[in-house]
Amino acid sequence: DELLKLIVDLIKSNFKLYHVQVYFLDENSESPMLVPVAGSGEIGQQIQERGYALPLHDERALAARAARNKQEELDNNLYADLNFTPDPLLLRVRAELAVPLMVFDEVIGALDIYADKPGFFNPQSLLTYTALASQIVVAEQNTRLLRGAEKQAMRLTMLNEMGQALSAAATLDDMFKVAVRYAPQIVHANQSDIALLTDAGDSLDVFTLQEEAGAVPVGMQLPLQGTAMGKAVQERTVINIPNLFKSDFTDARRLAEQGLHSALIAPLSTGDQVIGTLSVCSKTQQPYTLRDENLFLHIATFLGSTIESKRLFEQTQEVLSATERLYSVSQRINMADDLKDILAAIAEGLPVAGINRALLFTFEYDLAGEIEAATIAANWHNGDGTPPLPVGERYPRAMFTAIGPFLGAEATFIADAQQSEKIDANALFMIEQQNIRALAALPLWVGARQLGAIALQGETAHHFSQREIQSYLSVAPQIASAVENGRLLIETRAILSENEETQKRYTVQSWEHYLSGSGQNTLGYEQVREGVMPMGDELPPEINLAVSQAQTIVIDASGYDDLAADANGRPSLIIPLTLRDEVIGVLGMQDIEASHSWLPEEIAMVEAIATQFSQVAEELRLLDETQQRAAREQLTRQITDKVHAASSVEDALQITVEELSKALGQAHTFVNLELEKEPEQ
């Protein structure tokens, strides 16, 4: 139970699952039940404590169906069934996979796997979990064998050693050598061998041999038809030959000629695929028993599962490595400052042998939505070989035939562009000129619009692997989004800049209009101490400097600023009053003591007050304009009401003239109603 608990916890953590539960079949009760024996985490502990077993005939439980039907049961969207009611302990479950735990054709339980995302399981993961179920079966069988009888103690000890040796094996060849060394010790035999299916799948090659007397030499090829090994592969079952001398199989007769009497042959399976056979032969006349068959199948199953586990481990390591690379590339793309950095991220982060340069094209569209031109927006070069085409190179639609392989709407991977049938004569000229051989072209799509394409080029031929292709395809959408975001950012900045300029012009025009409406070009106020002559209209010349530079001007004897004291020998502090980066006035201070130095905190305080004053002045101007507008609107309504109250056209004319003259203070106001006479015919 502790081993199973460890297994389910490892499965849950390693495969990011919601919950994993193992059930064993109890046929001793009145009706067969699936009893929970191990579950992951706290949920598994709660299920154990609840003590509820699943009836094997339960139609709703996937684990019961898998055990009953002896096949995997998958529901990738549990809530699609309106009648689905989740277990109170598994409220977050969204997808469920149940795999039967089987020994031969006998069901011993079920592996129930839960995910908290719909659509979580796929065909590949089904194989993975089937293999894991086989591992659980192996573990359980080991336990049952250990508990079975003292007679099996030695066998199980050797099987354990074999398992350890298999786990420690570095290569597949090492695993096979371990198997043929231990198999004759676990199932009494004088010889053992492993044969593997050929690529054609119609024959077996003897791969590894352990023997006392040579019978079937290593390297010998045996057909599937007419051989015991072939029958084990085709029927995927253990072949027990109690008397080799009476067998019609060709390989059995050859073994009999070497003095061997009986044989056991089991298929080596990885998932749902048979890869070969494991065989043992004995010189004794005592035939192998059903227990021997079961144990030997266990060895073969264990060996097959170990092979599958190693293969899955290697695949997992490759996937993890690829995932780390993709994550690193994704981070670089997110942090890229420009399009060249994006190209460098994919070319350097997903290195492919021979790829030494890359181009990023962006498309221009006409009013009809057709691609009008393609421009090289960025390039990348590792420094070797021919440099890439220059940034800024623009190709109108008429030249697309020359660069067509780079711009396709679908991803293209060409091992040797100079020898490919996909390249026409027009494109071949540029490809040869640029010495392009390996080529990967990735379209950049955002929604239904293709923004452009990336062309990765190499000067040596390269057959792109499926993993390389998948890696490129995985990052293409993120690159497209980054390019689109960059384009939108540029457009947004341009709009913001234009809005800022408009706001600045509006600010200046508004204050010019406001000041002119007040009857003077400037508004100002001066405060002096008693005994100090006011400046009047003779303002310090440094005011113009503060306005033109839009920055604080400090003049004192300490040399705080590069300027010396002004012509009058008075330390001055002049701060521009700004609104939206436009100067609308100045706030200045002077001291009559030539030795005065402006302290930083004094400057900071005056600057803060100037900022607040500018905001208040703008608010008051807006309030003043609003009040004036409201007064005008009110006056307009009053005049309009009086005109509407007139009893005749003459009264309406008189009221209009009088009210307008009074409102605007004009000396002469008139209105004439006159129609132009048509000339006589």
User: Do 384 and 300 fall within a single domain?
Assistant: no
Q: Which residue has the higher pLDDT, 236 or 207?
A: 236
Q: What's the confidence (pLDDT) of residue 232?
A: 92
User: Do 483 and 348 fall within a single domain?
Assistant: yes
Q: Which of 197-201, 426-430, 524-528 has the lowest mean pLDDT?
A: 524-528
Question: In terms of residue numbers, what domain contains 343?
Answer: 338-490
Tell whether 159 is covered by a domain.
no
CA angle 602, 603, 608 (to 5 degrees): 100
Q: What's 457's DSSP letter? A: E
User: Do 485 and 342 fall within a single domain?
Assistant: yes
Domain of residue 432, CATH code: 3.30.450.40
Tell whether 103 is covered by a domain.
yes
Tell whether 156 is covered by a domain.
no
Whose tokens are 């005592």? That residue is 286
Q: CB under 8 Å to 591, separation ≥6 — which residues?
A: 570, 571
Local confidence band at 324 (pLDDT 50, 70, 90 cut-offs): confident
Q: What's 150's DSSP letter? A: G
Q: What's the confidence (pLDDT) of residue 632?
A: 82
In whole angstroms, how far apart are CA 265 and each of 200, 240, 434, 437? 21, 7, 60, 51
Q: Is 47 helix (H, G, I), strand (E, B) or coil?
A: helix
The model's pLDDT over 540-599, given as tens digits with 9 standing for 90+, comes to: 777 778 778 888 888 876 544 444 444 455 788 888 888 877 888 888 887 777 777 888
Local confidence band at 620 (pLDDT 50, 70, 90 cut-offs): confident
User: Do 206 and 245 fall within a single domain?
Assistant: yes
Tell whether 118 is covered by a domain.
yes
User: Do 40 and 96 fall within a single domain?
Assistant: yes
User: Do 376 and 309 fall within a single domain?
Assistant: no
The model's pLDDT over 285-303, given as tens digits with 9 standing for 90+, comes to: 667 888 888 888 888 888 8
Mean pLDDT across the chain = 83
Domain boundary among 464, 490, 516: 490
User: Do 210 and 346 fall within a single domain?
Assistant: no
* Nearest by Cα to 113 from 128, 134, 131, 99: 99
The model's pLDDT over 627-641, given as tens digits with 9 standing for 90+, comes to: 888 888 888 888 888
CA angle 503, 506, 508 (to 5 degrees): 110
* Nearest by Cα to 130 from 281, 11, 266: 11
Tell whether 470 is covered by a domain.
yes
User: What count of Cα atoms within 13 Å lies in the side-chain half-sphere of residue 275?
Assistant: 17
Q: What's the confidence (pLDDT) of residue 210?
A: 63
pTM of the complete model beyond 0.75 = no
In contact, 571 and 557? CB cutoff 8 Å: yes
Domain boundary among 257, 280, 314: 314
Six-digit token pair at 481? Answer: 């989004």
User: Do 228 and 96 fall within a single domain?
Assistant: no
Q: Over pLDDT 70: what percentage of the chain?
A: 90
Q: Is 381 helix (H, G, I), strand (E, B) or coil?
A: strand
The model's pLDDT over 181-234, given as tens digits with 9 standing for 90+, comes to: 888 888 888 888 888 888 788 888 887 666 544 445 566 788 999 999 999 999
Tell whether 666 is covered by a domain.
no
Would the CA dihedral through 266, 267, 268, 271 be positive or negative?
Answer: negative
Q: What's the confidence (pLDDT) of residue 20?
A: 93
User: Do 290 and 370 fall within a single domain?
Assistant: no
84, pLDDT greater than 70: yes
Tell whether 630 is covered by a domain.
yes
The total domain count for the chain is 4
* Side chain identity at residue 155, one-letter code: R
Q: How far apart are CA 33 and CA 284, in angstroms?
A: 43
User: Do 473 and 590 fall within a single domain?
Assistant: no
User: Do 542 and 603 fall within a single domain?
Assistant: yes
User: Do 342 and 301 fall within a single domain?
Assistant: no
Tell whether 259 is covered by a domain.
yes
Q: What's 70's DSSP letter? A: T
Terminal-to-terminal C-alpha distance of the chain? 119
Q: Which residue has the higher pLDDT, 372 or 142?
A: 372
In contact, 110 and 67? CB cutoff 8 Å: yes
